[in-house]
Amino acid sequence: MKIAYFGYNSFLQHKRGIENVIDFQSKTCVFEKIYYFHWGLITTAYKNDRFTCLSIKHCWYWPILLNIVLFRLKRKNKIIIHSHNPLFSFCSIFKTDILTVHDGLYYLYKSYKSKFAFIFRIIEPLVYNKCTIIHFISNYTKEQSLFGKKKNFVIIPNTSHFETYVETKNTKINKNKNEKITILIVRSIEVRARFDLLLQVAEQLCDQNYEFIVAGKGPLLQYYQNKIVKIKLKNIVMLGYVDDIELLNLYSECDIVLMIAEYGEGFGLPIIEGYLFNKPVIASNRCAIPEVIISKEYLFENDVESIIKSIKYVSNTKKENFSDYYESHFSNFIVLSKLRNMYLKIHS
């Protein structure tokens, strides 16, 4: 098999999110050749590890460039197209074999309150009609999409690329009275992640033994870093972007993983990564999170009182075996097997 993935960002930049998902999916089968399409500053080709990467200049005529490159490639090869970029699929003259949907286009733009949402209300169903199999990462993602009642779909959850690097350790919670309990937040710093609530929680717990560490960059990073300084919060630090080595250490050393989401959360990768490290995870009772979390006792509503109540609950309750839950629901082996079956179905 030969395969071409449609993504967004260059692998030469830091890989997070969709890029990591594609990297894992490409290891599912022994592909003869793996191509990766993404937007870039220029249209060019280059090698990166196992991938032949094809950068499409992000300009007004990018659909023309995309189809020129695709036509040259498909003319000589029989290739499976697996897209994570619905706009690439929409503009491609070729049918997409597999489309992975992380969040529906219309749902996202409507949640962002974008004035262009109506355009995606038209585009999204047309994209699905151009694809052979639609791969949703959660039931919630499918329900919020404009896919309708068609039958050509699979639901396969995400897994963590950290699994091969991790030796799972027991949780360290139930510390001595004077020891700090470290709460880790791994999020993009944007509106939907509700960092306004997090700062209020940190402020209310400033005289108690909790410290909050935030790993992630985003459009509101500088705003919240400045706000932390302005209100003189000493129990929270926003690190910005951290590489995988540092993130592994943060997961390993923390006591609790916390995830606040308002919308646009089709899965919740930090939840299963917390479980991979055998850490308790508390998260918003929103989006796909109730599907992913181990039980409803670890969910909170998006208000300060509910979040603090969950923190106290986790701090003072006997813990479950979270790594076993990860292993039985989201392990590389389980997800890889489902993906392999999907590829073989297309290939046959």
Query: Residue 11 has what pLDDT?
Result: 86
Is the full-model pTM beyond 0.85? yes
Q: 185 and 143, same structural domain? A: no
The rounded percent of the chain whose pLDDT value lies above 90 is: 87
Mean pLDDT of 52-81: 95
Q: Around 268, how many Cα atoms within 13 Å sit in the side-chain half-sphere?
A: 31
User: Is residue 127 within 8 Å of residue 95, measured between CB atoms?
Assistant: no
CATH of the domain at 298: 3.40.50.2000
Q: How would you write 53-70 as a 3-class SS string?
A: EEEEECCCCHHHHHHHHH
Q: Side chain identity at 292, as an amino acid letter?
A: V
With cut-offs at 50, 70 and 90, classify the pLDDT of residue 348.
Answer: confident
Secondary structure class of 81 (helix, strand, coil)? strand
267 and 249 in a common domain:
yes
Mean pLDDT of 211-225: 96
Indicate the length of the chain as a whole number.
Answer: 348
Average of per-residue pLDDT across 181-185: 97
pLDDT tens by residue, 242-283? 999 999 999 999 999 999 999 999 999 999 999 999 999 999
pLDDT at 127 over 80: yes
* Of 105 and 176, more confident: 105
- Indicate if 178 and 249 belong to the same structural domain: yes
Residue 81 near residue 4 (C-beta atoms within 8 A)? yes
Instruction: Write the pLDDT tens digit of every residue in 4-19.
Output: 999 999 988 766 678 8
The side-by-side arrangement of strands in the sheet containing 281-284 is 236-238, 210-215, 181-186, 256-259, 281-284, 299-300
Same domain, yes or no: 246 and 123: no
Domains of the chain: total = 2
Question: Do 138 and 184 reside in the same domain of the chain?
Answer: no
146 SS3 class: coil
Domain co-membership, 75 together with 219: no
Same domain for 184 and 294, yes or no, is: yes
Q: Among the listed ranges 66-70, 225-229, 312-316, which one has the minimum average pLDDT value? A: 312-316
Q: What angle do CA 186, 235, 275 make, to 5 degrees?
A: 30
Query: In this structure, are 136 and 19 located in the same domain?
Result: yes
Co-location of 192 and 289 in the same domain: yes
156 pLDDT above the threshold of 60: yes
pLDDT at 338: 96
The whole domain housing 247 covers 162-329
Asked if the model's pLDDT at residue 181 lies above 60, the reply is yes
Domain identity same for 51 and 143: yes
Mean per-residue pLDDT, 193-213: 97
Task: Give the integer Cα–Cα distance in Å for 153 and 156.
Answer: 10
59 shares its domain with 173? no
- The enclosing H or E element of 91 equals helix 86-91
Check whether 167 has a pLDDT greater than 80: no
| Average pLDDT of the chain, as a whole number | 94
Tell me how far apart the alpha carbons of residues 312 and 280 are, in angstroms, rounded to a whole number: 12
Segment 76-98 shows an average pLDDT of 96
Sign of the alpha-carbon torsion through 81, 82, 87, 89: positive
Distance (Å, whole) CA 297 – CA 280: 11
CA distance 316 to 312: 6
**What is the percentage of the chain residues whose pLDDT exceeds 70?**
96
